[in-house]
Structure 1
Amino acid sequence: MAFQLPDLPFSKDALAPHMSAETLEFHHGKHHATYVKKTNEMIEGKGDLSGASLVDVVRKAGTSGDKKLFNNSAQLWNHSFFWQCLSPDKQQPSGKLAQLINDGFGGIEPMLQKLGDEAVNHFSNGWAWLLLDRDQLKITSLHDADTPLVHDGMVPLFTLDVWEHAYYIDYRNERPKFVTSVLSNIVNWDFVAQNLDGKGADRANQEASTSKQPELTT
């Protein structure tokens, strides 16, 4: 089996100036690609993971305590989800999502302020998350490769990568500027709203690929 590096859902220069093509070349083309490569290397020959989907691999690695496999497979999934959270078209929440935001935070601006504070103040590497817990929105952050996939009550809606490789080319060490720029301009709120159905995990999942020999014809 072999997982693949998913294509970006936009061109590499589509998010500029908030996220440059150079950043995407390194972030997606180097960092994300490395997580894919290492995950595939680690699961090769592991019979208990034969045919397992990416989500299954992440969860089994977390349960078994295989930290190296967990870190790489979780980062593969986190990044695959993250790219879908971004859009070159400026959007605003609407419908049910907007109502949940109003109910939980008093409006979009207070919610973005809280999410931005969570991202900026998260110590060292990790991810800021907007989550659905039953019928309520929640904001939190997780360290390193940690992911909602292995936590009960965490339905992923949106994430923001706050590892340095996400912003250092464009913003150097100024994480607050990066966070503000992304949250104010390139959030894919349509994708966030879609994830209210509880199927966000599946939208960054990959099924195990299988290689079949071509059938012989006579």
Structure 2
Amino acid sequence: LDRDWTAPPGTALLVSAGFTPRDMPLRHAWRLAAAVVLAMMDAAEAAAGLRDETLWVKWPNDLVADGPDGRLLKLAGVLGETRSDGDRIATAVIGIGVNVDWPAATFPAALAPFMTSLREISGGRPVDRDVLLDGWLARLEPRLEALTAGAFDGGGWSRRQRTTGRRVEVDLGDRVVSGLAVGVDPESGALLLDPESSDGAVAADGAGALLAIDSGEVVRCRVVDLPRPTPAGVRPRNG
């Protein structure tokens, strides 16, 4: 997708990790990225002295915090590449960039309304990148061991989704679909979307109408409104 993560020296944690999973199905590659994100959220909250579940996921794998006006402010992003051996993962490289000790006064003007850092979320207190890295590695190891054993924290992944309950537009390259995000599928990681009619009304006619959007198809997912209740008749599937 030709994307990168840039930050002034000393302000961010930019790291890539290589994995050679044992017998992990290719269809579960998204779970590897999810484990990286969940471990980083927990480590970031600890390193910055934040309460639990201050940070969230904007599907498919951006780390965000709630802004004062209800907007989602981006804290971190993840990109991954995998190589397969048949229907199994041979190798995977996952990169993550986190805005750590970056004061808002030096945010790029074009991005400032949409981004944040651990320093800003914690009230301006400095945050040590080494502490964050050590904490992430310590929390990632047990999650990887669980994945190897065939277990995944689907409940935690679903619970931390800030996209759920919001109207979104998903760019699939050849088309854009919009609707109400009602959850994520615990098996495939797909976004479950209740699509809109041509006049912008959400269908709300039950689970049979839901679209399942795979993260591998997505160019961009944009949240376009503030949270709202899930329509009657649509039951979120959050695992």
Per the normalisation by structure 1, the TM-score is 0.28
**Larger RCO (CA within 8 A; separation ≥ 6):** 1
More strand by share: 2
Report the structure, 1 or 2, having the larger helix content: 1
